[in-house]
Amino acid sequence: FGAVVFSSVELPYEDLLRQELGKLKQRFLEEHACLSEQQLEQFLLRVLEASNYGVSVLSNASGNWNWDFTSSLFFASTVLSTTGYGHTVPLSDGGKAFCIIYSVIGIPFTLLFLTAVVQRIIVYVTRRPVLYFHIRWGFSKQVVAIIHAVVLGFITVSCFFFIPAAIFSVLEDDWNFLESFYFCFISLSTIGLGDYVPGEGYNQKFRELYKIGITCYLLLGLIAMLVVLETFCELHELKKFRKLFYVKKDKEEDQVHIMEHDQLSFSSISDQATSMKEDQKANEPFVTSQSPTSND
C-alpha cells in the first residue's frame, strides 16, 4: 500500500523535474556552443559526486567546512543514534575504516546508555505520578495511566516537534513549517533521510553553536521519544494486546514430556544396569560343585 501511494504521488513530480532539467541542459548547450555535451556531462558528474560527499562548488558554500570539530561532533551523534543523514560521509579509506569500528563499538554502548537513562527517568515521569494519583485520590490505575500517557505524549510532541519546527522555520531560510516539522519527525524517529539538514545554509550565523544545539536536541528528543514509547507500552490494554502474539506454552504437556523423559532415562539406566550384571555373571569362571562322598 505504501509503495502504491508513494509511486502515485511522487512519480509525476519526478517526471516534471526530469523534463525541466532536460530543457535547462539543452538551453545551456545552445547558449554555449563551444562546450560539447560530453564535456558538460563530465563536469556535472564530478560536481554531483563531490556534492554527495558534502562538498559544493558554489562560492557561497566555500566557507562551510564539513569536518571541523562541531560538524564532526554532529556527524558522530548521527552515527551513534543510527539517524545517519548521509549528507556528510568519510572521504578517506582511514575515515571509512574508523567509522566501521566506531559504529560497531559505539552503537551498542549508546543503546545501553539510552536504555539505562530511560529506565531511570520513567520511574519519576510515569510510574510515581500514576501511583500517586491512584493512592492519594483513589482513581483507577488504568484510567490514570491512559490519561497520563496521552498528556505526556502531547507535551512531548509540543516540546520536541511543534516548537522546534517553528524555530527551524525561522532559522532556516529555505524551510517552511511543514518542512521543519518533517525534519523533526524524520530525525527523532531515526529515519534520517538526509534531504533536510539544519546548519548547512550559506549565510548561517553562529554555525558552530547551532550545530551543538542541534546535537543536544537530537539526544534529548530521542530520550523523550523512548520515554513516551515505554509509557504507552506499560498500559494494561497494550500489554493484553501484546500477549496475543506470545507463544502460549501448555504446562501440562510440558510436565508430561518431562515425566516421559524421566521414565525413559530411568528405564535406560535400569537396562544398562541389568546388562552390566549379566555381563559380569557371564565373565565369572564356571565352577562345578561336587557333593562330598561319605566313607562307609
| Cα–Cα distance for residue pair 25/60, rounded to 1 Å | 23
Question: What integer pLDDT is reported at residue 296 of this predicted model?
Answer: 40
| Cα–Cα distance for residue pair 230/116, rounded to 1 Å | 12
| Cα–Cα distance for residue pair 32/188, rounded to 1 Å | 46
DSSP letters along 187-234, please?
HHTT----S--TT--TT-TTHHHHHHHHHHHHHHHHHHHHHHHHHHHT
Q: How many CB atoms lie within 10 A of CB 192?
A: 19
Question: What integer pLDDT is reported at residue 128 of this predicted model?
Answer: 94
Residues of the chain with pLDDT under 70: 54, 58-63, 247-296
Cell triple for residue 225? 521519544
Question: What integer pLDDT is reported at residue 80 of this predicted model?
Answer: 93
pLDDT digits (tens, 9 = 90+) for 31-78: 888 888 888 888 888 888 877 776 777 666 556 777 888 889 999 999
Question: What integer pLDDT is reported at residue 199 of this predicted model?
Answer: 82
| Radius of gyration of the CA atoms of the chain, in A | 35
Question: What integer pLDDT is reported at residue 269 of this predicted model?
Answer: 44
Question: What integer pLDDT is reported at residue 187 of this predicted model?
Answer: 94
Question: What integer pLDDT is reported at residue 138 of this predicted model?
Answer: 86
Question: What integer pLDDT is reported at residue 251 of this predicted model?
Answer: 52
Question: Cβ distance 183 to 198 under 8 Å?
Answer: yes
| Cα–Cα distance for residue pair 166/110, rounded to 1 Å | 29
Question: What integer pLDDT is reported at residue 167 of this predicted model?
Answer: 95
C-alpha closest to that of 161 among 125, 199, 188, 138: 188
DSSP letters along 254-283, please?
HHHHHHHHHHHHHHHHHHHHHHHHHHHHHH
